[in-house]
Amino acid sequence: MRSTVVGLQRDARGVPLGMLSNTQKPKITIIAGPPAAGKTTYVQDHKGPTDVVIDLDALAQAIGSENTHGHNKALMKFAWEARDALINKAQQASETSEVWIIRMAPTVEERRNIPGAKVIVLETNPNECKTQARATQRPPAWSQYIDEWWNQYEPDPRDIIVRR
C-alpha cells in the first residue's frame, strides 16, 4: 500500500513539491580570479533569483565586519568555518537551482576541490584589478595580493576563461 502525506502538492511523478531525490543536486559554479577582478559583480549579473551565493567577504560582513574587504583575522576564523559549512551543504541535495562560490583559487587544486563543479576564471588584467581596487577603496595591500594571485595562477584547460 502506498502512503501519502496529506496537504502536500505533488508533481506529475507524485513527488511532493519542494522535495528533490538524492540524485538531484544543485549545479555548483566556482567563480575564481584575482582580487578586484569583478567576481562578485559577475555572479550578481548571472545568478538566478533562487541561487545561493557563497562569498567570504559577505559572510565576514554578515557576522560583524565593518569592512567590505580586509577583515580582522579573529573574525575571519568564523567566516571561514561558515563558508566551509555552506560549501559542504551545497554538495548535498538541495532545492537551490545553482550555488555560486566566489573565491580567488589561483591553483588548479583549489579550483578542483569540489567534484563536478563548473569553474569560471576571470582573467582580469592585473592593472585593471589594481585600478578597480583603488576605485573601491580597498587597502593598499591589494596591489600586492593581485600580483601574488597572478604569480600563483595555474591555468587549466577545463576552466571556462573570461578575460576582462
Q: Which residues 6+ apart lie within 8 Å of 139 measured at CB?
A: 69, 70
Over residues 57-81, the pLDDT tens digits come to 888 888 887 777 767 777 778 888 9
For residue 159, what is the DSSP state?
A: S
Residues 135 and 41: beta-carbon distance below 8 Å = no
The sheet with strand 98-103 has its strands ordered as 52-55, 98-103, 27-32, 118-123, 160-163
Report the SS3 class of residue 111: helix
Q: What is the pLDDT along the chain (164 residues), one digit of tens a residue?
A: 333 333 444 444 444 444 444 456 679 999 999 999 999 999 999 999 989 999 988 888 888 877 777 677 777 788 889 888 988 888 875 666 799 999 999 999 999 999 889 999 999 999 999 999 999 988 889 999 999 999 999 999 999 999 98
The pTM of this model reads 0.79
**Cell numbers given for 10:** 505533488
Parse the chain into domains and list their residue ranges.
27-163
CATH architecture of 27-163: 3-Layer(aba) Sandwich (3.40)
